[in-house]
Amino acid sequence: REMRPQIEAVPNPSSVRVHLVLPRSFIDAQQIADKFKQGIPVILNLQGSDNELSKRLIDFASGLTYALNGGMQRIADKVFLLTPRNVEVSAEQRAALLERGGFFNQA
């Protein structure tokens, strides 16, 4: 018999525990994966990264989230939210994260 995963809602926006990554090289991919594997949502801010690094990290993050049954969505220009399996972040919580993070050009 197949068990369905239980979804855990992230509490209120002010207490959302997320890890922000501002990558400067591909070596930062390990930090993204380590936090994601621990069940911590990751904000990947590529606004300061060059196009080549951005493409590589988007490919990496896409594979990571797919392989571990997570999700990935663009929340602002060159800013992505990676959510582990069983973690859901509401639209209100995403808005609060954007506001707290000072991201511009919201998608």
The answer to whether residue 1 sits within a structural domain is no
The answer to whether residue 30 sits within a structural domain is yes
Residue with tokens 């990558």: 23
Total domains in the fold of the chain: 1
Q: What is the domain range of residue 56?
A: 8-101
The answer to whether residue 107 sits within a structural domain is no
**Separation in Å, CA 80 to CA 4, 42, 44, 67:** 27, 8, 5, 17
Residue with tokens 């990264």: 49
The CATH code of the domain that includes 61 is 3.30.110.150
The answer to whether residue 67 sits within a structural domain is yes
Kindly report the pTM of this predicted structure: 0.76
The answer to whether residue 46 sits within a structural domain is yes
**What would the pLDDT profile of 45-100 be if each residue is shown by its tens digit?**
999 999 999 999 999 999 999 999 999 999 889 999 999 998 887 778 777 777 76
The answer to whether residue 106 sits within a structural domain is no
